Structure 1
Amino acid sequence: MIASTSRLPKHSFSSDGVEIAYFDTGEGDPVLCIHGFASTAHINWTYPGWVDTLTKAGRRVIALDNRGHGDSEKLYDPAAYHTTLMAEDARALLDHLAIAKATVLGYSMGSRITAFLAHRHPDRVKAAIMGGLGIKLIDGVGLPETIAEALEAPTLEEVTDPQGRMFRAFAMQTKSDRRALAACIRGSRNLMSREEAASIACPVLIAVGTKDAIAGAPEPLAAIIPKGEALSIPDRDHMPAVGDKVFKAGALDFLARHAA
Protein backbone atom coordinates (compact mmCIF):
# COMPACT_ATOMS: atom_id res chain seq x y z
CA MET A 1 0.00 0.00 0.00
CA ILE A 2 1.21 3.50 -0.84
CA ALA A 3 1.08 5.97 2.03
CA SER A 4 -1.11 8.95 1.34
CA THR A 5 -2.33 11.93 3.33
CA SER A 6 -5.68 11.74 1.48
CA ARG A 7 -8.63 10.21 3.27
CA LEU A 8 -8.85 7.13 1.01
CA PRO A 9 -5.85 4.78 1.17
CA LYS A 10 -4.08 3.98 -2.07
CA HIS A 11 -2.70 0.69 -3.27
CA SER A 12 -0.34 0.03 -6.17
CA PHE A 13 0.27 -2.52 -8.89
CA SER A 14 2.62 -2.92 -11.84
CA SER A 15 1.32 -2.12 -15.30
CA ASP A 16 3.92 -3.59 -17.65
CA GLY A 17 6.66 -2.48 -15.25
CA VAL A 18 5.20 0.95 -14.37
CA GLU A 19 3.94 1.36 -10.78
CA ILE A 20 0.39 2.69 -10.79
CA ALA A 21 -1.39 3.93 -7.65
CA TYR A 22 -5.14 3.63 -7.19
CA PHE A 23 -7.92 3.57 -4.64
CA ASP A 24 -10.93 1.27 -4.50
CA THR A 25 -14.00 2.05 -2.40
CA GLY A 26 -17.70 1.27 -2.20
CA GLU A 27 -19.75 -1.68 -3.39
CA GLY A 28 -21.83 -2.39 -6.46
CA ASP A 29 -21.26 -2.07 -10.19
CA PRO A 30 -17.72 -0.75 -10.75
CA VAL A 31 -16.96 2.70 -12.13
CA LEU A 32 -13.34 3.23 -13.17
CA CYS A 33 -12.41 6.92 -12.91
CA ILE A 34 -9.56 8.40 -14.97
CA HIS A 35 -8.43 11.92 -14.06
CA GLY A 36 -7.26 14.78 -16.23
CA PHE A 37 -3.83 16.22 -16.93
CA ALA A 38 -1.90 17.53 -13.90
CA SER A 39 -4.57 16.23 -11.53
CA THR A 40 -4.76 13.09 -9.38
CA ALA A 41 -7.39 10.52 -8.45
CA HIS A 42 -8.25 12.39 -5.24
CA ILE A 43 -8.15 15.90 -6.69
CA ASN A 44 -10.35 14.95 -9.65
CA TRP A 45 -12.79 12.58 -7.96
CA THR A 46 -12.69 12.73 -4.15
CA TYR A 47 -12.54 16.44 -3.41
CA PRO A 48 -15.23 17.54 -5.95
CA GLY A 49 -17.63 14.98 -4.44
CA TRP A 50 -17.72 12.34 -7.17
CA VAL A 51 -16.75 9.48 -4.85
CA ASP A 52 -19.57 10.34 -2.43
CA THR A 53 -22.03 10.83 -5.29
CA LEU A 54 -21.23 7.49 -6.91
CA THR A 55 -20.95 5.39 -3.76
CA LYS A 56 -24.26 6.77 -2.47
CA ALA A 57 -25.76 5.70 -5.80
CA GLY A 58 -24.61 2.14 -5.11
CA ARG A 59 -21.44 2.11 -7.20
CA ARG A 60 -17.97 0.80 -6.50
CA VAL A 61 -15.47 3.52 -7.33
CA ILE A 62 -11.96 2.74 -8.56
CA ALA A 63 -9.67 5.63 -9.46
CA LEU A 64 -6.05 5.55 -10.55
CA ASP A 65 -3.27 8.12 -10.59
CA ASN A 66 -2.18 8.20 -14.23
CA ARG A 67 1.50 7.51 -14.85
CA GLY A 68 3.54 10.63 -14.08
CA HIS A 69 0.85 11.90 -11.69
CA GLY A 70 0.09 11.68 -7.99
CA ASP A 71 1.57 8.61 -6.32
CA SER A 72 2.22 6.73 -9.57
CA GLU A 73 5.66 6.29 -11.09
CA LYS A 74 7.22 9.35 -12.75
CA LEU A 75 8.58 8.91 -16.28
CA TYR A 76 10.47 11.53 -18.29
CA ASP A 77 10.33 10.23 -21.88
CA PRO A 78 7.35 11.71 -23.79
CA ALA A 79 6.98 8.40 -25.65
CA ALA A 80 6.03 6.74 -22.35
CA TYR A 81 2.85 8.84 -22.22
CA HIS A 82 1.16 7.89 -25.47
CA THR A 83 -2.57 7.63 -24.86
CA THR A 84 -2.56 3.98 -25.91
CA LEU A 85 -0.11 3.21 -23.08
CA MET A 86 -2.22 5.03 -20.50
CA ALA A 87 -5.31 3.20 -21.76
CA GLU A 88 -3.42 -0.04 -21.19
CA ASP A 89 -2.72 1.07 -17.59
CA ALA A 90 -6.49 1.37 -17.10
CA ARG A 91 -7.09 -2.03 -18.69
CA ALA A 92 -4.34 -3.55 -16.54
CA LEU A 93 -5.99 -2.18 -13.41
CA LEU A 94 -9.23 -3.92 -14.36
CA ASP A 95 -7.21 -7.11 -14.82
CA HIS A 96 -5.47 -6.60 -11.48
CA LEU A 97 -8.84 -6.28 -9.72
CA ALA A 98 -10.39 -9.14 -11.73
CA ILE A 99 -13.08 -6.84 -13.13
CA ALA A 100 -14.30 -8.14 -16.48
CA LYS A 101 -16.23 -5.05 -17.50
CA ALA A 102 -16.76 -1.58 -15.99
CA THR A 103 -18.27 1.78 -16.66
CA VAL A 104 -15.47 4.30 -17.24
CA LEU A 105 -15.63 7.94 -16.19
CA GLY A 106 -12.93 10.28 -17.49
CA TYR A 107 -12.22 13.98 -17.47
CA SER A 108 -10.19 15.93 -20.04
CA MET A 109 -7.06 13.84 -20.72
CA GLY A 110 -8.84 11.09 -18.80
CA SER A 111 -11.66 11.22 -21.34
CA ARG A 112 -9.14 10.79 -24.16
CA ILE A 113 -7.79 7.74 -22.34
CA THR A 114 -11.36 6.51 -21.86
CA ALA A 115 -12.08 6.79 -25.58
CA PHE A 116 -8.91 4.92 -26.49
CA LEU A 117 -9.76 2.22 -23.94
CA ALA A 118 -13.30 1.84 -25.30
CA HIS A 119 -11.96 1.63 -28.85
CA ARG A 120 -9.12 -0.80 -28.11
CA HIS A 121 -10.93 -2.98 -25.57
CA PRO A 122 -14.67 -2.78 -26.28
CA ASP A 123 -15.29 -5.94 -24.25
CA ARG A 124 -14.07 -4.19 -21.08
CA VAL A 125 -16.17 -1.00 -21.21
CA LYS A 126 -19.89 -1.24 -20.40
CA ALA A 127 -20.50 2.49 -20.85
CA ALA A 128 -18.37 5.64 -20.85
CA ILE A 129 -18.75 9.15 -19.46
CA MET A 130 -16.36 11.66 -21.04
CA GLY A 131 -16.24 15.04 -19.31
CA GLY A 132 -14.20 18.02 -20.46
CA LEU A 133 -13.54 16.66 -23.96
CA GLY A 134 -15.73 17.09 -27.01
CA ILE A 135 -14.85 17.20 -30.70
CA LYS A 136 -11.20 17.89 -29.89
CA LEU A 137 -10.88 14.16 -29.31
CA ILE A 138 -10.51 13.99 -33.09
CA ASP A 139 -9.96 17.61 -34.15
CA GLY A 140 -7.36 19.87 -32.58
CA VAL A 141 -6.21 17.78 -29.58
CA GLY A 142 -7.08 20.25 -26.80
CA LEU A 143 -4.27 21.29 -24.49
CA PRO A 144 -1.40 23.01 -26.39
CA GLU A 145 2.21 21.89 -26.08
CA THR A 146 3.08 25.37 -24.81
CA ILE A 147 1.88 24.09 -21.43
CA ALA A 148 5.08 22.01 -21.29
CA GLU A 149 7.12 25.19 -21.68
CA ALA A 150 5.15 26.80 -18.87
CA LEU A 151 5.82 23.83 -16.62
CA GLU A 152 9.54 24.04 -17.35
CA ALA A 153 9.84 27.81 -16.89
CA PRO A 154 12.12 28.84 -13.99
CA THR A 155 9.31 30.72 -12.24
CA LEU A 156 5.57 31.22 -12.52
CA GLU A 157 6.11 34.96 -13.05
CA GLU A 158 7.90 34.23 -16.33
CA VAL A 159 4.85 32.44 -17.79
CA THR A 160 2.68 34.82 -19.85
CA ASP A 161 0.45 32.33 -21.71
CA PRO A 162 -2.89 32.20 -19.79
CA GLN A 163 -3.45 28.44 -20.16
CA GLY A 164 0.19 27.72 -19.41
CA ARG A 165 0.07 29.90 -16.34
CA MET A 166 -3.10 28.17 -15.11
CA PHE A 167 -1.61 24.69 -15.38
CA ARG A 168 1.75 25.78 -13.98
CA ALA A 169 0.03 27.26 -10.92
CA PHE A 170 -2.12 24.14 -10.57
CA ALA A 171 0.94 21.87 -10.74
CA MET A 172 2.66 23.94 -8.07
CA GLN A 173 -0.42 23.83 -5.87
CA THR A 174 -0.59 20.03 -6.10
CA LYS A 175 3.21 19.68 -5.65
CA SER A 176 3.40 17.70 -8.89
CA ASP A 177 6.56 16.58 -10.67
CA ARG A 178 6.59 19.29 -13.35
CA ARG A 179 9.24 17.56 -15.44
CA ALA A 180 7.08 14.42 -15.64
CA LEU A 181 4.04 16.52 -16.52
CA ALA A 182 5.95 18.28 -19.30
CA ALA A 183 6.84 14.89 -20.76
CA CYS A 184 3.21 13.81 -20.43
CA ILE A 185 1.78 16.80 -22.29
CA ARG A 186 4.28 16.25 -25.10
CA GLY A 187 3.53 12.55 -25.40
CA SER A 188 -0.22 12.34 -24.81
CA ARG A 189 -1.57 14.82 -27.37
CA ASN A 190 -2.81 11.96 -29.56
CA LEU A 191 -5.79 12.34 -31.86
CA MET A 192 -8.34 9.63 -32.49
CA SER A 193 -9.53 9.30 -36.06
CA ARG A 194 -13.17 9.89 -36.96
CA GLU A 195 -13.41 6.22 -38.00
CA GLU A 196 -12.03 5.05 -34.64
CA ALA A 197 -14.48 7.24 -32.73
CA ALA A 198 -17.33 5.93 -34.89
CA SER A 199 -16.35 2.38 -33.96
CA ILE A 200 -16.90 2.92 -30.21
CA ALA A 201 -19.88 0.66 -29.60
CA CYS A 202 -20.83 1.35 -25.99
CA PRO A 203 -23.13 4.18 -24.82
CA VAL A 204 -21.10 7.38 -24.29
CA LEU A 205 -22.08 10.56 -22.45
CA ILE A 206 -20.04 13.61 -23.55
CA ALA A 207 -20.27 16.44 -21.01
CA VAL A 208 -18.64 19.83 -21.63
CA GLY A 209 -19.00 23.25 -20.00
CA THR A 210 -20.55 25.90 -22.20
CA LYS A 211 -17.60 28.22 -21.46
CA ASP A 212 -14.93 25.53 -21.96
CA ALA A 213 -12.36 26.80 -24.49
CA ILE A 214 -10.26 23.64 -24.27
CA ALA A 215 -12.59 20.69 -24.90
CA GLY A 216 -14.44 21.48 -28.11
CA ALA A 217 -18.21 21.16 -28.45
CA PRO A 218 -19.83 17.89 -27.29
CA GLU A 219 -22.56 17.69 -29.95
CA PRO A 220 -20.33 17.01 -33.01
CA LEU A 221 -18.58 14.16 -31.20
CA ALA A 222 -21.89 12.73 -29.98
CA ALA A 223 -23.05 12.72 -33.61
CA ILE A 224 -20.02 10.60 -34.60
CA ILE A 225 -20.18 8.01 -31.80
CA PRO A 226 -23.16 5.73 -32.58
CA LYS A 227 -24.55 5.74 -29.02
CA GLY A 228 -23.22 9.18 -28.10
CA GLU A 229 -25.16 11.69 -26.00
CA ALA A 230 -24.19 15.33 -25.46
CA LEU A 231 -24.57 17.19 -22.18
CA SER A 232 -23.88 20.92 -21.87
CA ILE A 233 -22.82 22.12 -18.41
CA PRO A 234 -24.14 25.70 -18.19
CA ASP A 235 -21.79 28.61 -17.54
CA ARG A 236 -18.80 26.44 -16.68
CA ASP A 237 -15.21 26.68 -17.92
CA HIS A 238 -12.89 23.67 -18.12
CA MET A 239 -11.79 23.46 -14.49
CA PRO A 240 -15.02 24.37 -12.62
CA ALA A 241 -17.10 21.94 -14.71
CA VAL A 242 -15.43 18.95 -13.04
CA GLY A 243 -17.60 18.97 -9.92
CA ASP A 244 -20.68 20.71 -11.30
CA LYS A 245 -24.08 19.45 -10.10
CA VAL A 246 -25.45 19.35 -13.67
CA PHE A 247 -22.57 17.08 -14.69
CA LYS A 248 -23.18 14.78 -11.71
CA ALA A 249 -26.94 14.65 -12.24
CA GLY A 250 -26.46 13.90 -15.93
CA ALA A 251 -23.95 11.18 -15.12
CA LEU A 252 -26.27 9.52 -12.60
CA ASP A 253 -29.14 9.58 -15.08
CA PHE A 254 -26.88 8.11 -17.77
CA LEU A 255 -25.67 5.38 -15.40
CA ALA A 256 -29.23 4.48 -14.45
CA ARG A 257 -30.16 4.10 -18.11
CA HIS A 258 -27.06 2.42 -19.49
CA ALA A 259 -24.97 0.89 -16.72
CA ALA A 260 -27.38 -0.88 -14.40
Structure 2
Amino acid sequence: MAEPAVRYFFGQDGTKLAYRDLGVGRPLVLLHGFFSSGAHQWLHSGFAHTLAADGHRVIVPDLRAHGDSAAPHGAEHYPDDVLTDDAFALIDYLKLTTYNLGGYSLGARTVVRMLVRGAAPSRVIVAGQGLREVTGKGGTVARYLRHVFSHLGTFKPGTAEWKAEQWLTRTGGDPEALLHVLDSVLDTPADALTGIEVPMLVVVGDRDDRDGSALALSRTVSQGTHVVVPGDHTTAITAPELAETARTFLRDQ
Protein backbone atom coordinates (compact mmCIF):
# COMPACT_ATOMS: atom_id res chain seq x y z
CA MET A 1 0.00 0.00 0.00
CA ALA A 2 1.30 3.44 -0.93
CA GLU A 3 2.59 5.59 1.89
CA PRO A 4 0.47 8.70 2.52
CA ALA A 5 1.90 12.10 1.73
CA VAL A 6 3.69 14.11 4.41
CA ARG A 7 1.65 17.03 5.72
CA TYR A 8 2.68 19.74 8.16
CA PHE A 9 1.43 21.74 11.10
CA PHE A 10 3.25 23.98 13.59
CA GLY A 11 4.05 23.72 17.28
CA GLN A 12 3.35 26.58 19.65
CA ASP A 13 6.86 27.94 19.07
CA GLY A 14 6.50 27.81 15.29
CA THR A 15 8.50 24.58 14.80
CA LYS A 16 7.38 22.79 11.62
CA LEU A 17 6.07 19.33 12.45
CA ALA A 18 5.13 16.49 10.10
CA TYR A 19 2.25 14.04 10.07
CA ARG A 20 0.62 11.51 7.76
CA ASP A 21 -3.08 10.83 7.46
CA LEU A 22 -4.72 7.69 6.05
CA GLY A 23 -8.08 6.00 6.13
CA VAL A 24 -11.60 7.20 6.87
CA GLY A 25 -13.55 6.93 10.10
CA ARG A 26 -13.06 7.74 13.78
CA PRO A 27 -9.64 9.43 14.14
CA LEU A 28 -6.84 7.47 15.82
CA VAL A 29 -3.71 9.50 16.63
CA LEU A 30 -0.59 7.32 17.01
CA LEU A 31 2.63 8.60 18.62
CA HIS A 32 5.88 6.75 17.93
CA GLY A 33 8.84 5.99 20.17
CA PHE A 34 12.19 7.69 20.73
CA PHE A 35 14.51 8.03 17.73
CA SER A 36 12.06 6.29 15.46
CA SER A 37 9.42 7.94 13.25
CA GLY A 38 5.75 7.64 12.50
CA ALA A 39 6.42 6.04 9.13
CA HIS A 40 8.89 3.50 10.48
CA GLN A 41 7.00 2.47 13.58
CA TRP A 42 3.35 2.62 12.53
CA LEU A 43 3.32 2.46 8.73
CA HIS A 44 6.18 0.11 7.86
CA SER A 45 5.09 -2.29 10.60
CA GLY A 46 1.66 -2.55 8.98
CA PHE A 47 -0.12 -1.43 12.16
CA ALA A 48 -1.54 1.80 10.73
CA HIS A 49 -2.73 0.14 7.53
CA THR A 50 -4.46 -2.62 9.48
CA LEU A 51 -6.38 -0.09 11.57
CA ALA A 52 -7.17 2.09 8.54
CA ALA A 53 -8.63 -0.94 6.77
CA ASP A 54 -10.83 -1.53 9.82
CA GLY A 55 -12.56 1.83 9.55
CA HIS A 56 -10.23 4.26 11.30
CA ARG A 57 -8.74 7.53 10.14
CA VAL A 58 -5.16 6.98 11.30
CA ILE A 59 -3.08 10.10 11.99
CA VAL A 60 0.64 9.50 12.42
CA PRO A 61 2.80 12.48 13.41
CA ASP A 62 6.58 12.58 13.61
CA LEU A 63 7.62 13.82 17.03
CA ARG A 64 9.73 16.97 17.24
CA ALA A 65 13.35 16.17 16.22
CA HIS A 66 12.23 12.90 14.56
CA GLY A 67 11.44 11.81 11.01
CA ASP A 68 10.28 14.62 8.75
CA SER A 69 9.68 17.07 11.60
CA ALA A 70 12.13 19.90 12.26
CA ALA A 71 14.95 19.33 14.74
CA PRO A 72 15.99 22.75 16.05
CA HIS A 73 19.07 22.84 18.27
CA GLY A 74 18.17 25.65 20.64
CA ALA A 75 17.16 24.50 24.11
CA GLU A 76 14.34 27.07 24.03
CA HIS A 77 12.54 24.78 21.55
CA TYR A 78 12.38 21.96 24.11
CA PRO A 79 10.55 23.21 27.19
CA ASP A 80 9.20 20.70 29.68
CA ASP A 81 6.54 18.44 28.14
CA VAL A 82 6.95 19.90 24.65
CA LEU A 83 5.99 16.61 22.96
CA THR A 84 2.66 16.74 24.78
CA ASP A 85 2.21 20.37 23.71
CA ASP A 86 2.87 19.31 20.11
CA ALA A 87 0.31 16.51 20.28
CA PHE A 88 -2.33 18.93 21.56
CA ALA A 89 -1.36 21.36 18.77
CA LEU A 90 -2.01 18.62 16.19
CA ILE A 91 -5.42 17.79 17.68
CA ASP A 92 -6.32 21.49 17.66
CA TYR A 93 -5.03 21.91 14.10
CA LEU A 94 -7.14 19.00 12.84
CA LYS A 95 -10.12 20.12 14.98
CA LEU A 96 -10.54 16.65 16.45
CA THR A 97 -13.30 16.31 19.02
CA THR A 98 -14.04 12.58 19.11
CA TYR A 99 -10.89 10.51 18.68
CA ASN A 100 -8.76 7.66 20.04
CA LEU A 101 -5.10 7.84 21.09
CA GLY A 102 -2.24 5.37 20.93
CA GLY A 103 1.47 5.43 21.59
CA TYR A 104 4.52 3.20 21.67
CA SER A 105 7.37 3.62 24.19
CA LEU A 106 8.07 7.38 24.45
CA GLY A 107 4.89 7.93 22.44
CA ALA A 108 2.97 6.00 25.08
CA ARG A 109 4.50 8.13 27.84
CA THR A 110 3.36 11.18 25.90
CA VAL A 111 -0.16 9.77 25.64
CA VAL A 112 -0.24 9.39 29.43
CA ARG A 113 0.95 12.98 29.81
CA MET A 114 -1.89 14.08 27.53
CA LEU A 115 -4.42 12.26 29.70
CA VAL A 116 -3.28 13.83 32.95
CA ARG A 117 -3.31 17.23 31.25
CA GLY A 118 -6.92 16.91 30.18
CA ALA A 119 -7.05 15.07 26.85
CA ALA A 120 -10.40 13.33 26.40
CA PRO A 121 -10.06 10.49 23.88
CA SER A 122 -12.64 7.71 23.77
CA ARG A 123 -10.05 4.94 24.14
CA VAL A 124 -6.28 4.76 24.65
CA ILE A 125 -3.57 2.29 23.65
CA VAL A 126 -0.38 2.38 25.73
CA ALA A 127 2.18 0.02 24.19
CA GLY A 128 5.72 -0.80 25.31
CA GLN A 129 5.49 1.15 28.57
CA GLY A 130 4.46 0.56 32.15
CA LEU A 131 4.08 2.12 35.55
CA ARG A 132 7.81 2.17 36.27
CA GLU A 133 8.53 4.06 33.05
CA VAL A 134 5.77 6.67 33.10
CA THR A 135 6.49 7.53 36.75
CA GLY A 136 10.22 7.88 36.10
CA LYS A 137 11.29 4.90 38.18
CA GLY A 138 12.85 3.24 35.14
CA GLY A 139 15.30 5.93 34.06
CA THR A 140 18.07 3.56 32.98
CA VAL A 141 17.10 3.77 29.29
CA ALA A 142 17.37 7.58 29.24
CA ARG A 143 20.75 7.43 31.00
CA TYR A 144 21.95 4.82 28.52
CA LEU A 145 20.90 6.89 25.51
CA ARG A 146 22.51 10.03 26.94
CA HIS A 147 25.73 8.04 27.25
CA VAL A 148 25.51 6.83 23.64
CA PHE A 149 24.74 10.25 22.17
CA SER A 150 27.51 11.89 24.19
CA HIS A 151 30.23 9.40 23.14
CA LEU A 152 29.56 8.76 19.47
CA GLY A 153 32.41 7.17 17.57
CA THR A 154 34.00 5.59 20.65
CA PHE A 155 32.19 2.24 20.87
CA LYS A 156 33.58 -1.15 19.96
CA PRO A 157 31.83 -2.73 16.94
CA GLY A 158 29.23 -5.26 17.95
CA THR A 159 28.45 -3.74 21.36
CA ALA A 160 24.95 -2.58 22.26
CA GLU A 161 26.15 1.04 22.23
CA TRP A 162 27.67 0.60 18.77
CA LYS A 163 24.41 -0.90 17.48
CA ALA A 164 22.45 2.04 18.92
CA GLU A 165 24.83 4.43 17.16
CA GLN A 166 24.36 2.54 13.88
CA TRP A 167 20.59 2.84 14.27
CA LEU A 168 20.97 6.58 14.91
CA THR A 169 22.95 6.87 11.67
CA ARG A 170 20.47 4.82 9.64
CA THR A 171 17.51 6.88 10.83
CA GLY A 172 19.29 10.19 10.31
CA GLY A 173 18.81 11.13 13.94
CA ASP A 174 20.28 14.39 15.23
CA PRO A 175 21.93 13.60 18.58
CA GLU A 176 22.00 17.21 19.78
CA ALA A 177 18.27 17.66 19.17
CA LEU A 178 17.45 14.23 20.60
CA LEU A 179 19.29 15.03 23.82
CA HIS A 180 17.08 18.10 24.14
CA VAL A 181 14.03 15.86 23.65
CA LEU A 182 15.17 13.67 26.55
CA ASP A 183 15.56 16.78 28.70
CA SER A 184 11.95 17.79 27.97
CA VAL A 185 10.31 14.54 29.08
CA LEU A 186 8.35 14.75 32.35
CA ASP A 187 7.44 11.94 34.73
CA THR A 188 3.85 11.44 35.84
CA PRO A 189 3.19 10.87 39.55
CA ALA A 190 1.40 7.60 40.30
CA ASP A 191 -1.38 9.39 42.14
CA ALA A 192 -2.21 11.33 38.98
CA LEU A 193 -2.73 8.06 37.11
CA THR A 194 -5.55 6.97 39.38
CA GLY A 195 -7.67 9.81 38.01
CA ILE A 196 -7.49 8.45 34.44
CA GLU A 197 -10.92 7.02 33.65
CA VAL A 198 -10.55 6.38 29.91
CA PRO A 199 -10.49 2.68 28.89
CA MET A 200 -6.80 1.89 28.42
CA LEU A 201 -5.21 -1.07 26.64
CA VAL A 202 -1.72 -1.62 28.08
CA VAL A 203 0.07 -3.99 25.70
CA VAL A 204 3.67 -5.20 25.80
CA GLY A 205 5.91 -7.84 24.24
CA ASP A 206 6.45 -11.13 26.07
CA ARG A 207 10.23 -10.56 25.94
CA ASP A 208 10.07 -6.89 26.91
CA ASP A 209 11.45 -6.28 30.41
CA ARG A 210 8.62 -3.75 30.88
CA ASP A 211 5.99 -6.51 31.10
CA GLY A 212 5.59 -6.55 34.89
CA SER A 213 5.55 -2.77 34.86
CA ALA A 214 2.86 -2.77 32.16
CA LEU A 215 0.66 -5.01 34.29
CA ALA A 216 1.11 -2.60 37.22
CA LEU A 217 0.05 0.34 35.03
CA SER A 218 -3.09 -1.48 33.89
CA ARG A 219 -4.01 -2.04 37.54
CA THR A 220 -3.33 1.57 38.53
CA VAL A 221 -5.76 3.19 36.10
CA SER A 222 -9.49 2.63 36.61
CA GLN A 223 -10.22 0.87 33.30
CA GLY A 224 -6.96 -0.83 32.33
CA THR A 225 -6.61 -4.01 30.28
CA HIS A 226 -3.26 -5.80 30.14
CA VAL A 227 -2.33 -7.86 27.07
CA VAL A 228 0.95 -9.56 26.14
CA VAL A 229 1.96 -10.11 22.50
CA PRO A 230 5.01 -11.83 20.96
CA GLY A 231 8.25 -9.84 20.79
CA ASP A 232 10.70 -7.69 22.70
CA HIS A 233 10.68 -3.90 22.98
CA THR A 234 11.95 -3.53 19.41
CA THR A 235 9.94 -6.23 17.64
CA ALA A 236 6.55 -6.27 19.39
CA ILE A 237 5.37 -3.35 17.26
CA THR A 238 5.56 -5.63 14.19
CA ALA A 239 3.62 -8.50 15.76
CA PRO A 240 0.28 -9.06 13.95
CA GLU A 241 -1.15 -9.83 17.38
CA LEU A 242 -0.54 -6.23 18.50
CA ALA A 243 -2.55 -4.79 15.61
CA GLU A 244 -5.29 -7.40 16.10
CA THR A 245 -5.50 -6.70 19.84
CA ALA A 246 -5.76 -2.96 19.13
CA ARG A 247 -8.41 -3.52 16.49
CA THR A 248 -10.54 -5.59 18.86
CA PHE A 249 -10.11 -3.08 21.68
CA LEU A 250 -11.13 -0.11 19.49
CA ARG A 251 -14.14 -1.93 18.06
CA ASP A 252 -15.62 -2.35 21.53
CA GLN A 253 -16.84 1.22 22.02
TM score, norm. by length of structure 2: 0.90
1:3 counterpart residue number: none
CA shift, 1:121, in A, is 2.0
CA shift, 1:68, in A, is 0.8
1:146 counterpart residue number: 144
CA shift, 1:81, in A, is 4.0
CA shift, 1:156, in A, is 6.2
1:93 and 2:80 correspond: no
1:226 counterpart residue number: 222
Count of residue pairs brought into register by the alignment:
249
Cα distance in 2 for partners of 1:152, 1:116 equals: 27
CA contact (8 A) 2:82 2:184 kept: no
Cα distance in 1 for partners of 2:116, 2:11 equals: 19
2:239 to 226, 241, 244: 244
2:196 to 200, 204, 217: 200
CA shift, 1:151, in A, is 2.1
User: What whole-Å deviation, never above 9, does each CA across 1:114-146 have from its counterpart, x for those lacking one?
Assistant: 0111121233x2111011101221232462323
2:250 counterpart residue number: 255
Q: List aligned pairs for 1:1-260, cutoff 5 A.
A: 7-16=3-12, 17-77=14-74, 80-81=77-78, 84-123=81-120, 125-135=121-131, 136-138=133-135, 139-141=137-139, 143-155=141-153, 157-158=155-156, 162=160, 164-188=161-185, 190-213=186-209, 217-234=213-230, 236-258=231-253
Cα distance in 2 for partners of 1:65, 1:127 equals: 21
Cα distance in 2 for partners of 1:245, 1:132 equals: 15
Q: Which residue identity is paired with 1:207?
A: V
> Once superposed, which parts of structure 1, at least 4 consecutive aligned residues long, lie more than 6 Å away?
none
Single out whichever of 222-231 and 113-122 deviates more from structure 2. 113-122
CA shift, 1:78, in A, is 5.6
Q: Which residue identity is paired with 2:239?
A: D
CA shift, 1:158, in A, is 4.7
Gaps of 5+ in 1: 1-5
User: What whole-Å deviation, never above 9, does each CA across 1:68-120 have from its counterpart, x for those lacking one?
Assistant: 11111213356744662211211111111111131011000000000111121
CA shift, 1:172, in A, is 1.1
Structure 1 pair 225/159, CA: closer, same or farther in 2 (3 Å)? farther
Q: Which residue identity is paired with 1:213?
A: D
CA contact (8 A) 1:122 1:202 kept: no
CA contact (8 A) 2:80 2:183 kept: no
Structure 1 pair 166/160, CA: closer, same or farther in 2 (3 Å)? closer
CA RMSD across the alignment? 2.1
CA contact (8 A) 1:148 1:186 kept: no
Q: Which residue identity is paired with 1:253?
A: T
Cα distance in 2 for partners of 1:167, 1:106 equals: 21
User: What whole-Å deviation, never above 9, does each CA across 1:23-55 have from its counterpart, x for those lacking one?
Assistant: 111100000010000001100111000121011
Secondary structure, aligned partner of 2:81: helix
